Structure 1
């Protein structure tokens, strides 16, 4: 089965705040093997922009550290599977963990109860 996974990146690692990433690591999987990897610079962030932009790249799965509820809802509308609360690691390592079923997700690292309300959307 073919899949395309996107991971927001900052300083070469998973970005804790989805909307603040420097670029997206995108891996194409065919039969659970990485066949292509690329780094894509996103457009300037605006709340609600990234879900449609990522979907337009053919992505079917997003692995993230933190993400706001609005962004989660928009990704679901784009039929993109979300794995939120992943550990800050190199993106290829996260994809390999996803493939072998050992990806650890947990608490959403973005808390919208504080002052940076739009930083993770």
Structure 2
């Protein structure tokens, strides 16, 4: 399994569409074999699913994520664990041990109707309902 985590300074970055880095973990038999931090090089929103696919990721751990991005991940065959916060390394360990707390109904909730963009996640309380 190859697990990608939205990444910033060791923690899970909370705004999928604005992710500048992913930490990608290669795992086998419930253990991390190696990991690498990769830059998205400016890719955003819908392009990120393709970016993850290119890097061989089949699983994503993230904070907030909009419906459009969720659909793109689903189409790419990437399993989503959203609504997660804290240490990226710990989240991967928790997932491997079947102990990860995540939100099956995670959404990027925007406040106000004037600036809502489908699949877009800005500084608007992502990962929270």
Relative to the length of structure 2, the TM-score reads 0.82
Match status 1:51 vs 2:54: no
Cα drift, residue 103 of structure 1: 0.3
Whether the aligned pair in 1 keeps the contact of 2:2 and 2:24 (CA below 8 Å) is yes
Partner of 1:90: 87
Q: Tell which deviates more after alignment, 6-15 or 92-101.
A: 6-15
Gaps of 5+ in 2: 123-129
Whether the aligned pair in 1 keeps the contact of 2:50 and 2:76 (CA below 8 Å) is yes
Please give the root-mean-square deviation of Cα atoms over the aligned residues, in Å.
Answer: 1.7
Superposed, 1:1-121 pairs within 5 Å as: 3-86=1-84, 88-106=85-103, 108=106, 110-112=108-110, 114=112, 115=115, 117=117, 118-119=120-121
**How many residues are treated as equivalent by the alignment?**
117
Relative to the length of structure 1, the TM-score reads 0.87
1:72-102 C-alpha deviation (Å, 9 max, x unpaired): 001000111001111x211110000001111
Whether the aligned pair in 2 keeps the contact of 1:7 and 1:25 (CA below 8 Å) is yes
Cα drift, residue 10 of structure 1: 2.1
